[in-house]
C-alpha cells in the first residue's frame, strides 16, 4: 500500500523514480543505507537513526495510504533540491 502511495506522490511532484523497493521493517533497517530515501510509518522512525546519520533521507508518515500526506512530508525535506 505504501509503495503505491509513495509512487503516486513522487510522480505528482515531478520526481523521476528509477527504483522503488518495498520490504519488511526489519529488512529495511538493515538495507536502508543502499537507498537515497526511506519511507516508513512514524512509529518506526527511530529504527532508521543510523541511516539518517549516514545522510539518508528518512520520511515518516502517519497514514501510509495517503499520497497527500506523503507529498506534504516530501516537500518538507531537501529531496527536490537533491533529485530534481
Per-residue pLDDT of the chain (84 residues; tens, 9 = 90+): 899 999 999 999 999 999 999 999 999 999 999 999 999 999 999 999 999 999 999 999 999 999 999 999 999 999 999 887
This prediction has a pTM of 0.91
* Domain at 2-83, CATH class: alpha beta
Mind spelling out the 3-state secondary structure of 14-60? Answer: CCCCCCCCCCCHHHHHHHHHHCCEEEEEHHHHHHHHHHHHCCCEEEE
Q: Quick one: which of 15, 68, 70 has its CA closest to 39?
A: 70
Amino acid at each position: 500500500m505504501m509503495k503505491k502511495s509513495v509512487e503516486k506522490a513522487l510522480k505528482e511532484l515531478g520526481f523521476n523514480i528509477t527504483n522503488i523497493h518495498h520490504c519488511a521493517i526489519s529488512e529495511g533497517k538493515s538495507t536502508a543505507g543502499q537507498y537515497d530515501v526511506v519511507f516508513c510509518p512514524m512509529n518506526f522512525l527511530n529504527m532508521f537513526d543510523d541511516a539518517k546519520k549516514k545522510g539518508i533521507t528518512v520520511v515518516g508518515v502517519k497514514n501510509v495510504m495517503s499520497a497527500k500526506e506523503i507529498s506534504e512530508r516530501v516537500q518538507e525535506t531537501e529531496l527536490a533540491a537533491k533529485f530534481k
